[in-house]
Amino acid sequence: MSTKPGETHSLPAAEKQTRLFLLVLVLVSVLQYSHSFGNGFVWDAKGVFVDDPTIRELKYLPRYFTEVSALGDPSRRTAPAGVSVTSIPYYRPLMKVVHLAEHAVFGTNPIPYNAVDILLNALVVALCFSVVRSVTGNPKVAFLSSLLYAVNPARAEVVSWSYSDPYIVGAIFSLSAFLLYDRRRYLLSLLSFGLALLSHETAVLVPFILLSYELLIRRDRTFAPVGRLSGFFLLAGIFLLLRRSVAGPMPVTDLGPFTLANAAVVLVNRYVKIFFLPDAPVTIYQYRPGMFASLNGEVMLSYAAAALLSGFGLFLWLKKRPLFFWYLWFFVFISASFNVGRFGDYLMAEKMLYVASIGLCVVIAGLLESIGGKRLGAGLVALFAVLHFGVTFHRTLFWTDTATYLEKALEFAPDFYLGHYALGNEHASQKRYDGAIQEYGKTLALKPDLSFAGGYISDLYNEKGYEYASAGRYEEAMKEYEKSLSVRPEQSAVYNNIGNIYALGGHYGDALKAWQKAAGLDPSNYEASFNLALAYEKKGDLNSALRYYRACLGLATQLTPSLQEKVRELEQRKSGLRGR
């Protein structure tokens, strides 16, 4: 291509700038999550990637589209009625396909799963840059806002926890759908939107974002947007009907208008707050019935904050209408959390900010670039980005394993009984008996009606006692058995074990009493009956010995010749004594 005198090629320079921006964004995105490469499968992730048999074979693939995936903590023991453990029926068939492919390549090694999530998150940040640049036409605003977005700490849970990968994949297809729509590739946009719906349910909000874009950015006053958007709303409706047929109706909050309004302003206030100033590295926000029924302190403060947010929104509407679109973006995507009270003990999650935070990032970058001057605005963004980069990196340190995650979460929510229960399960699975006993005890203290947790405590004392006894540490074993009986007194197996320890120490009288207690509590306890038979035979009490040997014959799953021979031998000895 020829160049006239004085004319420069601005396109190559713009391309170089774009490539540089993207390179920086990708490097930042990968570096700040570098510690997450070594994370294990934390809590629910084990159920998704290790314990799910349907991702191990291709034959299950058709079922992904006709069945739900009930994802939950695989470490939970089978609990009696009374424990409020919510298992949410997800309909995310595309994610099952992704997991099928990952399992075929990676098996159950968590490291490559984490690597994929980190790289896909970098792609989300790159797509954020492309979307903002395409809408605003300003590469610098796109870079600054994407930089803020990349380092936002509220996104750390999604990237650090492999269980949350539907948010990443859903974001990729949702942002791609928006970008393709902006570039007037409507059919491809619709296809990408369909894939987003099959990845994560919150994609149903994308058509509302597109509608806002038509009204606030394009401002097309013809009927053309109606035709363009109708396909997206229709596809969203079809998806909801399909999901309903497979997973049942979507749970909808049953809060009244007043209570729901209170809940909404509290959630908005919390999300805005943690966008700028995050809470603890790992957070669990609990829902308690009735928490929004009155104008308590947090609700009233949230209404005041909502008034300020509304005022700021009015300012953007009047003075910076293109930025008002991005402001609206934030609120549209967090609105999925307003379905309060339908997901058990959970109120909200920072994960909802994974896509929503793009909106506030663009608003901040756009205002700083236009009001504070380009250099000052870029400097403030850089300072904010550095601070958030450090916070985000620090957060990644607590997703290494389930115990670390739960311990950190319980620092933020010490009264979360399900967290203590899950941590107890994790300690128990790793044979960390004291830690498990402590956490089950806290569970009972917070929710006394969960009596089965006391049974778990008793079982753990028994396991400790058995290990001590096997190692010849009989005195310590006895203490653990006594602790077990103090929690659950009527345990035949424990009394039998105590009798064994007495016998090993030469205290046969005490051993006999313990075995009698064991057999009395559970006549089907074969070992206790056999021990009593041996003890009575040694004492010369043939009648009692025969009684317990015969009991063993009735309890044995498979009759052994030696046991039958022992009964005949004692019967002959008893007859011989009578004949004298």
CATH of the domain at 464: 1.25.40.10
Asked if residue 133 is part of any domain, the answer here is yes
Residues 437 and 518 in one domain: yes
Band (576; pLDDT cuts 50, 70, 90): low
**Backbone φ/ψ region at 545: left (φ over 0), alpha (ψ -120 to 50), beta:** alpha
How many domains, the chain?
2
Asked if residue 81 is part of any domain, the answer here is no
Tell me the per-residue pLDDT of 387-423, one tens digit each, with 9 for 90 and over: 999 999 999 999 999 999 999 999 999 999 989 999 9
Asked if residue 416 is part of any domain, the answer here is yes
Residues 161 and 32 in one domain: yes
Residues 56 and 100 in one domain: yes
Taking residues 171-185, what's their average pLDDT? 97
Q: Give the pLDDT score at 102.
A: 96
Q: Give the pLDDT score at 374.
A: 64
Residues 156 and 223 in one domain: yes
Asked if residue 82 is part of any domain, the answer here is no
Asked if residue 80 is part of any domain, the answer here is no
pLDDT at 256 over 70: yes
Band (567; pLDDT cuts 50, 70, 90): confident
In angstroms, the first-to-last Cα distance of the chain is: 127
How high does pLDDT run on average in the chain?
Answer: 89
What are residue 452's phi and psi, to 5 degrees?
-65, -25
Decide which of 368, 402, 436 is a domain's last residue.
402
What type of residue is 580?
R
Band (555; pLDDT cuts 50, 70, 90): confident
Q: Give the pLDDT score at 81.
A: 43
Residues 126 and 206 in one domain: yes
Q: Give the pLDDT score at 8.
A: 47
Residues 385 and 437 in one domain: no
Q: What is the pTM of this model?
A: 0.87
Q: Give the pLDDT score at 75.
A: 39
Q: Give the pLDDT score at 11.
A: 62
Query: Pick from 350, 356, 33, 48: which is nearest to 174 by CA?
Result: 356
Token reading at 407: 């311990």
What are residue 488's phi and psi, to 5 degrees?
-140, 95
Asked if residue 452 is part of any domain, the answer here is yes
Residues 393 and 510 in one domain: no
Alpha-carbon span 36 to 117, nearest angstrom: 10
Q: Give the pLDDT score at 73.
A: 43
Taking residues 296-302, what's their average pLDDT? 93
In 163-315, beta strands by DSSP E: 285-286
pLDDT at 20 over 90: yes
Which residue's entry shows tokens 């620092």?
A: 411
Taking residues 169-194, what's their average pLDDT? 97
Band (77; pLDDT cuts 50, 70, 90): very low
| DSSP annotation of 250 | P
Band (320; pLDDT cuts 50, 70, 90): very high
Q: Give the pLDDT score at 71.
A: 53
Band (72; pLDDT cuts 50, 70, 90): very low
Residues 423 and 358 in one domain: no
pLDDT at 17 over 50: yes
Dump the DSSP string for 497-543: HHHHHHHHTT-HHHHHHHHHHHHHH-TT-HHHHHHHHHHHHHHT-HH
Decide which of 374, 402, 430 is a domain's last residue.
402
Asked if residue 561 is part of any domain, the answer here is yes
- Dihedral angle of Cα 328, 331, 332, 334, to the nearest 10 degrees: 160
Taking residues 419-430, what's their average pLDDT? 92
Residues 420 and 407 in one domain: yes
Taking residues 146-174, what's their average pLDDT? 96
Decide which of 377, 402, 427 is a domain's last residue.
402
pLDDT at 492 over 60: yes
Domain that holds residue 368: 13-75+88-402
Asked if residue 160 is part of any domain, the answer here is yes
Tell me the per-residue pLDDT of 334-380, one tens digit each, with 9 for 90 and over: 998 998 876 667 899 999 999 999 999 999 999 988 775 667 777 88
Residues 440 and 299 in one domain: no
Residues 371 and 429 in one domain: no
Indicate the range of 8-17, 365-374, 382-391 predicted with least confidence. 8-17
Residues 172 and 268 in one domain: yes
Alpha-carbon span 24 to 27, nearest angstrom: 5
